[in-house]
Structure 1
Amino acid sequence: LLLLLMWIGLSRPLFIFNILLRNEQNQEEMILHFLLDLSSQCGVSFPCTPSGTSFELNSRASLHAIEDDSSMNIKSVWDDVRLHLRRFLVNRLQSPHETNTATLKQQMQFKTQCIQHLLFLYPESEVLTKYQNMQNKLVSELLQNCVLSSCGETNFDKVVHGYQSSIPTLCTMIKEDLCILSGTIDPSSALMFINETYLDTITEEITILLERLCELQFKENALHIIKTSKISKKQRGTVHALG
């Protein structure tokens, strides 16, 4: 079948894949693995261009493409196919059902595969940006949930305890992403990802919380001063009346 596709060209299979993805459910994994096999076994080089840019299909082998298919039509179809596959992969990464029953090793293998498949479809910068946004959201939600119980309070010790409870989960997330990305992208890029996704986000969340605590403490102090002042005036008025 792969040799047949090399003979008839890639445009028609891409159109067929696009129709399947639009009209049939649960076709994503089959099509994705088919494209990966086509690339690895037949030497077909699918363009990993940024979203919305032009490209030409290339191959180390000779592809007898259909002449009446313009490159613009093929580009549009390829963009549709890989966009659909990207949504499928991102949904899998975000789905708790995919990882809840798996061991940590299985989770990392699963996520590594998803990241590698995304890198097959899109440039590294786009994939990392998308994944970073996902992880940023998880980190922010984790930290915010850990201090929800102390919302509206200025008990600093309680807030610290809330953050301490998040440390094991954060360490696991950092370890997981470091292992996943170190085997997928350049180590320096992986370290930059960890720094921006976790350390910068943690710093930002703590800064926001401390500002909120300071503001609440200032308001409480101001209310206490006003209340004390009113009591003092009332007491002086009572003493003056008795005198």
Structure 2
Amino acid sequence: METEPATAVEAATHRLREEIVAGSLPAEARLRLRDLTARFGYGATPLREALSRLAAEGFVLFEGQKGFSVPPVTRTHLLDITQSRQFVEPEALRLAMEHGDAAWEDEIVASVSLMRREIERRRADPDWLDIYEAKHHRLHRALIAACPLVALRAFCDELYMQTTRYRRLMKSAMEDWPRSSAAHQSLADAVLARDPAALQGMRDHIGTTSTRVLAMLGETPAP
């Protein structure tokens, strides 16, 4: 469960990141302080700091005299974050499987159950998709939560959010919900069984988003 942001800067950062990831602030949109102040109700100072933080994370682009903008959607960037996730997340998962205890297992079981039930009650509107994404994110965090390397978990989460921005391009129309539910259940089962095959399962699972987004854009994945 996410905690409430403690400061105006944290709240502004959280809100901006959410809107960029969800596509409410579309790719290449200019991010002017005056417009953002009117839209979100935060002051210029916390918004400026939030934009700087998000630029450091890769969610915002800063170009000299042009100022801040939402980064473009590109094949190169999608493949970069996908392959980076496929490199680091299975390692975090391996460490989680080594160190995980009963509480870790319980959170995985709870998370996959909540996500499955959310899929079963799905409806075609953006609000539902936001609720689903929160459940999906909870499960992916739960899978690697027992990894003892805090920085590694944080990096995995940052890459996850970058990938989510691309996945949200597909909206619900591109999702095979029964297959998605079964795939997450299968991955969770393998992790709970401490099956080494779960590591390749995670790599394949991460690659699915890249393949489907590129297909939607009329492109093919890297060989």
> Does 1 or 2 have the higher relative contact order (CA < 8 Å, sep 6+)?
2
TM-score by length of structure 2 reads 0.25
Larger radius of gyration: 1
Structure (1 or 2) with the greater helix fraction: 1
